[in-house]
């Protein structure tokens, strides 16, 4: 009888062992998930109690997408990032510092820093390839910005940008005119230029002059056409009168009456 009971209990025991093993594997699968796959050369750390994500010299060509969303300090310096698209940092609501220096950034799309206005207090865009950026790209941004060592075009657009953002202390001298509509500004510190010249007012005057020249050109064309039209009609009228004088008197009177009525 005991032998029969053992034979019956053996399948039940094996089944329980298999269920326990399966449950254990499920638990291990939940707890031992692989670490986040960060781009090569990027790693998270903690500095002075702040969660930091470093991607310096990582040969990046774009802003990484898998940055931890609780990051406080983000270093993307010394890479090959050429452009900052719309919502490039939208998933980083706790970001305090952003270092994008020493890249190849030549364009910043409006809304690139959307979502960072409330917390970000430091933005480094120095040593890039920025020539001209709309002030709208920095809309509502309260961070102190470093724009030095870029090949800036000194014009009204740059003047509006500099007056919109708060520059990092001591960095303004590094904003130098690499090019300008006025040759004498090239090589000068931009703040020195706008201290002597309102570039937006100069642009407005230039635009007004261009409009006046255009209007004068159209006016001259209209006057020329009217003069030509009047002279042409006078010449036709003179020829017609000479023709009438050459006709017999009765026919001439009839033609003259017709001509006068037509003119009237």
Half-sphere exposure of 244 (CA within 13 A, CB side): 17
Helical H segments across 47-136, by residue range = none
- Say how many residues make up the chain: 264
Residue 255 forms part of a structural domain: no
Report residue 96 as tokens: 């305090």
Are residues 202 and 189 part of one domain?
no
Contacts of 59 (CB under 8 A, 6+ apart): 40, 41, 79, 80
Q: Average pLDDT for residues 135-152, to the nearest whole number? A: 95
Are residues 150 and 44 part of one domain?
yes
Residue 99 forms part of a structural domain: yes
Are residues 188 and 73 part of one domain?
yes
pLDDT score for 22? 58
SS3 call for 116: coil
Higher pLDDT, 6 or 38: 38
Please state the domain count of the chain.
Answer: 2
Are residues 143 and 90 part of one domain?
yes
Where in the sequence is the domain holding 127, given as residue range(s)? 36-197
**Of 147, 177, 197, the domain-final residue:** 197
Residue 254 forms part of a structural domain: no
* pLDDT tops 50 at residue 155: yes
pLDDT mean across residues, the chain: 80
pLDDT of 168-188, one tens digit each?
Answer: 999 999 999 999 989 999 999
Are residues 157 and 64 part of one domain?
yes
**Of 197, 222, 242, the domain-final residue:** 197
Are residues 150 and 133 part of one domain?
yes
Residue 181 forms part of a structural domain: yes
CATH at 60: 3.80.10.10
φ, ψ of residue 69 to 5 degrees: the values are -75, 0
Residue 263 forms part of a structural domain: no
Are residues 171 and 84 part of one domain?
yes
pLDDT score for 118? 83
Q: Average pLDDT for residues 123-141, to the nearest whole number? A: 95
pLDDT of 183-221, one tens digit each?
Answer: 999 999 999 999 989 999 864 444 444 454 455 555 566
Distance of CA 20 to the CA centre of its chain: 59
SS3 call for 85: coil
Q: Average pLDDT for residues 158-167, to the nearest whole number? A: 95
Are residues 88 and 115 part of one domain?
yes
Question: Exposed, middle or buried by CB within 10 Å (0-12, 13-18, 19+), for 122?
Answer: middle
Q: Average pLDDT for residues 67-73, to the nearest whole number? A: 95
Residue 183 forms part of a structural domain: yes
Q: What is the pTM of this model?
A: 0.65
Residue 118 forms part of a structural domain: yes
Residue 156 forms part of a structural domain: yes
Are residues 109 and 51 part of one domain?
yes
**Of 143, 176, 197, the domain-final residue:** 197
Are residues 154 and 104 part of one domain?
yes
Q: What percent of the chain has a predicted confidence (pLDDT) above 90?
A: 56
Are residues 140 and 218 part of one domain?
no
SS3 call for 74: strand
Are residues 98 and 74 part of one domain?
yes
E-assigned strand segments in the chain: 43-47, 50-54, 73-75, 83-84, 97-99, 107-108, 122-124, 144-146, 152-154, 166-167, 177-180
Beta strands 83-84 and 73-75, pairing class: unpaired
φ, ψ of residue 67 to 5 degrees: the values are -80, 130
Contacts of 152 (CB under 8 A, 6+ apart): 130, 131, 132, 158, 175, 176, 177, 178, 179, 190
Cβ-contact 81, 105 below 8 angstroms: yes
pLDDT of 36-55, one tens digit each?
Answer: 578 889 999 999 999 999 99
């Amino acid at each position: 009888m005991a032998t029969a009971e053992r034979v019956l209990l053996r399948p039940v025991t094996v089944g329980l062992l298999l269920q326990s093993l399966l449950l254990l594997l499920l638990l291990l699968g939940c707890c031992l998930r692989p670490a986040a796959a960060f781009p090569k050369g990027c790693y998270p750390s903690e500095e002075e109690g702040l969660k930091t994500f470093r991607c310096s010299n990582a040969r990046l060509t774009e802003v990484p997408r898998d940055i931890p969303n609780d990051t406080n300090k983000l270093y993307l310096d010394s890479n090959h990032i050429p452009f900052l698209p719309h919502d490039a940092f939208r998933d980083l609501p706790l970001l305090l510092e952003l270092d994008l220096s020493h890249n190849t950034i030549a364009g910043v799309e409006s809304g690139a820093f959307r979502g960072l206005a409330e917390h970000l207090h430091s933005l480094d865009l120095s040593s890039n390839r920025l020539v001209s950026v709309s002030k709208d790209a920095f809309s509502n941004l309260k961070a102190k910005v470093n724009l030095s060592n870029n090949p800036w075009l000194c014009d009204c657009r740059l003047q509006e940008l500099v007056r919109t953002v708060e520059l990092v202390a001591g960095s303004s001298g590094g904003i130098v005119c690499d090019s300008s509509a006025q040759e004498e500004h090239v090589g000068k510190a931009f703040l020195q230029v706008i201290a002597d010249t309102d570039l937006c007012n100069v642009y407005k005057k230039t635009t007004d002059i261009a409009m006046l020249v255009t209007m004068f050109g159209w006016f001259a064309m209209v006057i020329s056409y009217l003069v030509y039209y009047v002279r042409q009609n006078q010449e036709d009228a003179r020829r017609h009168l000479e023709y009438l004088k050459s006709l017999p008197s009765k026919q001439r009177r009839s033609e003259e009456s017709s001509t006068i009525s037509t003119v009237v």
